[in-house]
């Protein structure tokens, strides 16, 4: 009888000791991208054609990426505006990231994207010397006490024009147009996140996911 009691006590001892030991609780950290993080996104094909970018237009770019231990799955969208950063280059300023049905607020910018200027016209050259000469012609005679339309006034205008640079070359023509670029399927696009992205706090949800957005591929 005493033997059975001792055996039962031995069997129950580890269980009782375990019950008295506090069980550690582990908190799962929130998934987020820290400000300053650089991520290489892979541009995913859809129709197989390059994605066109146009200055000051909003565009949705299908992407996939790995950011540290976080995976951004295929079919996610970067949504932003293509804005000029130089005469023949621009950047995608990203405002939101769509993953599945969730939309996250983003403040990020891409690496420079080479583009081309679609010409819409040229501003006519300004002949600075000619403009100055016209003004001087009206005032040159008065300044020197010579009748405005006399030969002496024209000579005085030429003299004043030379003194004030009126014979300068015309200013170069200014090209006007819209910057355009394209992203190729399977191309990588570097993006720097300027602010933190908290994936536990979406700003909106789309019932049908990225398909609810216009302007995608």
- Of residues 180, 172, 216, the one with CA closest to residue 87: 180
**Using H for helix, E for strand and C for coil, what is the string for 46-109?**
CCCCCEEEECCCEEEEEEEEEECCEEEEEEEEEEEEEEEEECCEEEEEEEEEEECCEEEEEEEE
Q: Which residue has the tokens 């939101």?
A: 96
With cut-offs at 50, 70 and 90, classify the pLDDT of residue 152: low
Please give the structure tokens belonging to residue 95: 């405002």
Secondary structure class of 132 (helix, strand, coil): helix
Region of poorest pLDDT, from 19-23, 93-97, 136-140, 146-150: 19-23
Tell me if 141 sits within 8 A of 153, measured CB to CB: yes
Tell me if 54 sits within 8 A of 182, measured CB to CB: no
% of the chain at pLDDT higher than 90 = 45
d(CA 96, CA 104): 5
Q: What is the pLDDT of residue 44?
A: 95
pLDDT at 4 over 60: no
Q: What is the pLDDT of residue 207?
A: 87
Q: Which helix (H) or strand (E) holds 158?
A: helix 151-163
Region of poorest pLDDT, from 27-41, 113-127, 151-165: 151-165
Tell me if 59 sits within 8 A of 80, measured CB to CB: yes
12-71: per-residue pLDDT in tens? Answer: 444 444 344 443 333 333 488 999 999 999 999 877 789 999 999 999 999 999 877 788
Q: Which residue has the higher pLDDT, 159 or 170?
A: 170
Q: Which residue has the higher pLDDT, 45 or 2?
A: 45
Q: For residue 148, report the phi and psi dihedrals to the nearest 5 degrees.
A: -60, -45
pLDDT, mean over the chain: 74
Secondary structure class of 208 (helix, strand, coil): coil
Q: Please report, for residues 60, 114, 120, 199, the alpha-carbon distance to residue 203 in angstroms, rounded to integers and kept in the order given.
A: 17, 32, 39, 10
Mean pLDDT throughout 184-190?
Answer: 96
pLDDT at 166 over 60: no
Tell me if 58 sits within 8 A of 80, measured CB to CB: yes
Longest dimension (CA), the chain: 142
Please report the beta strands in 87-199, taking only residues with DSSP state E, as ranges in sequence order: 89-99, 102-110, 113-114, 116-123, 174-183, 188-193, 197-198
pLDDT at 75 over 50: yes
pTM comes to 0.61
Q: What is the pLDDT of residue 132?
A: 46
Region of poorest pLDDT, from 79-93, 109-123, 191-205: 109-123
Q: Which helix (H) or strand (E) holds 42?
A: strand 38-43
pLDDT at 154 over 90: no
């Amino acid at each position: 009888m005493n033997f059975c009691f001792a055996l039962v006590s031995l069997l129950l001892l580890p269980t009782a000791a375990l019950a008295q030991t506090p069980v550690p609780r582990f908190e799962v950290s929130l998934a987020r991208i820290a400000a300053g993080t650089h991520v290489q996104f892979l541009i995913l094909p859809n129709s197989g054609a390059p994605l066109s970018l146009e200055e000051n237009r909003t565009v949705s770019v299908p992407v996939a990426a790995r950011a540290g231990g976080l995976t951004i799955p295929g079919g996610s969208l970067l949504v932003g505006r293509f804005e000029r950063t130089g005469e023949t280059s621009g950047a995608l300023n990203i405002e939101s990231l769509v993953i599945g049905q969730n939309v996250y607020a983003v403040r990020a910018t891409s690496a420079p994207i080479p583009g081309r200027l679609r010409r819409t016209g040229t501003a006519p050259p300004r002949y600075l010397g000619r403009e100055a000469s016209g003004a001087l012609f009206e005032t040159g005679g008065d300044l020197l006490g010579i009748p405005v339309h006399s030969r002496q006034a024209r000579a005085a205008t030429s003299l004043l024009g030379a003194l004030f640079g009126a014979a300068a070359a015309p200013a170069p023509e200014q090209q006007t147009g819209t910057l355009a670029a394209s992203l190729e399927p399977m191309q990588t696009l570097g993006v720097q996140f300027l602010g933190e992205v908290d994936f536990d706090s979406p700003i909106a949800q789309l019932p049908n996911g990225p398909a609810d957005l216009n302007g995608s591929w």
